[in-house]
Amino acid sequence: MADIDRIAQEVVRRLRSPEPKRENPGTGIPVTISARHVHVSRSTLETLFGERYALTKARDLGQPGEFASKARVTVVGRSGRAIEGVRVLGPVRSYTQLEISGTDAFRLGIEAPVRRSGDLSGTESATLVGPAGSIFLREGVIRATRHIHMTPRDAEIQHVADGDLVRVRLPGDRALVLEKVLVRVDPNAALELHLDTDDANAAGIRPPLAVEILR
């Protein structure tokens, strides 16, 4: 009985204690976690969803003009296994690109290389299936390199340039230091660090969170 009373008193003490101080999410570079998704060309979109199909916005994304649409596709890999409900992002691009994590690649039985967006030569293949048809991508499947979007002013403040590779520390109980994080500078960018779900899960992070470039 004495042990039960002691445990109860300890629980009460912890409940009354102030919460431990957490990492400040309000400063630094905001972190965004990018789940698997696909960017499509006009011809791919119409093959998958029908002639003159237009993407309908579900929600805006962090980068100006980009959005998650209501459209979804199924991805089939060489293993014959499929991943359903892969989100199509807008607006329509000049090329089709499927971005997945390493875990997704293992499930699909493919070896998607780590590449910068748009660098698709010699990349992996997969089949996309939509409600109106399917298309085999001979190349275009990648694991997106970790990257930070920023404006020229942001780059000046951070003392970096477009194309630089930097180091970033993810805080928390499973803190990690990420190497080879690509800096992407564009006048229309919004400041964001983009990570895939594998990196985010490895560090156990959940937005909102902001990080700093290591010096």
What's the pLDDT score for residue 215? Answer: 77
State yes or no: cis peptide before 208, omega within 30 of 0. Answer: yes
Segments in the chain below pLDDT 50: 4, 7-8, 11-12, 15, 17-26
Q: pLDDT value at position 39?
A: 98
C-alpha angle 106-108-113 in degrees, rounded to nearest 5: 60
pTM of the model: 0.84
Q: List phi, psi (to 5°) of 129.
A: -125, 125
- Report the 10 Å Cβ neighbour count for 164: 16
Q: Is 10 helix (H, G, I), strand (E, B) or coil?
A: helix
pLDDT number for residue 191: 98
pLDDT at 184: 98
pLDDT of residue 2: 52
C-alpha to C-alpha distance for 178 and 73, rounded to whole angstroms: 31
How, if at all, do strands 37-41 and 97-99 pair? antiparallel
Note the residue count of the chain.
215
Helical H segments across 102-205, by residue range: 102-108, 152-158, 197-203
Give the start-to-end residue ranges of the domains of the chain. 35-144, 147-211
pLDDT of residue 199: 96
